[in-house]
């Protein structure tokens, strides 16, 4: 089984400094939905691991998060793809939980759910936290330059083995071996 782990905000959809607080605010980055379907059609299972501290901050509730994620899943399904599992951390940074990236709790849960090692598994994100979490579990850190990606690259300090792509579409073509 091939597995790919994706961050959500800034990778699949446009991010917002004010948080994505409703399905109406959730807008896919061009090519991202098709990229997920392309990965599925080439044998990849897809897990999403996303920090969602807006819940902990009281900006939106679980019903709203579920509605936002339902919209994403529906768009992926309409393209002939699927998201096999979705993990989220509802905590704020001050709570110091084990699940909030760059900690590895969500990634460890994904490994357990799929009964697999994460060594070499592509983990695609737009922030240093995503890349650090991936490196900590032996996954392949991949930075996309959407979302916070350009700032992350400019800030430096990325894991040495990080691959960098313009967006999820380009990363997906690399993973399936198509230019």
Instruction: List residues with catalytic annotation.
Output: 7, 9
Q: Between vectors from CA 82 to CA 78 and to CA 87, what angle results, nearest 5°? A: 130
- Residue 26, SS3 per DSSP: coil
Task: For the sheet with 85-89, list strands across it.
Answer: 85-89, 44-51, 2-6, 122-125, 140-144, 163-165
Torsion 26-28-32-37 (CA) sign: positive
Pairing of strands 122-125, 2-6: parallel
Separation between Cα atoms, residue 145 and residue 126, nearest integer Å: 7
Helices (H), 104-148: 105-113, 128-136
Q: What is the DSSP letter of 27?
A: -
In sequence order, the β-bridge partners of residue 137 are none
Contact 62, 27 (CB under 8 A): no
Separation between Cα atoms, residue 171 and residue 6, nearest integer Å: 11
């Amino acid at each position: 089984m091939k597995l790919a782990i994706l961050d959500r905000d800034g990778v699949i959809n446009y991010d917002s400094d004010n948080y994505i607080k409703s399905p109406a605010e959730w807008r896919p980055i061009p090519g991202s939905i098709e990229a997920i379907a392309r990965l599925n059609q080439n044998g990849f299972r897809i897990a999403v691991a996303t920090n969602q501290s807006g819940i902990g901050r009281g900006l939106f509730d679980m019903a709203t998060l579920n509605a936002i994620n339902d919209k994403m899943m529906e768009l992926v399904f309409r393209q002939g793809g699927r998201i096999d599992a979705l993990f989220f951390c509802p905590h704020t940074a001050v709570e110091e939980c084990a699940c909030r990236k760059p900690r590895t709790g969500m990634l460890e849960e994904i490994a357990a759910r799929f009964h697999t090692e994460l060594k070499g598994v592509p983990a695609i994100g737009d922030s240093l936290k995503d890349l650090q979490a991936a490196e900590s579990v032996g996954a392949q850190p991949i930075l996309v330059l959407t979302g916070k990606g350009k700032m992350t690259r400019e800030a430096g300090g990325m894991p040495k083995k990080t691959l960098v792509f313009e967006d999820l579409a380009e990363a997906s073509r690399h993973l399936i071996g198509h230019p």
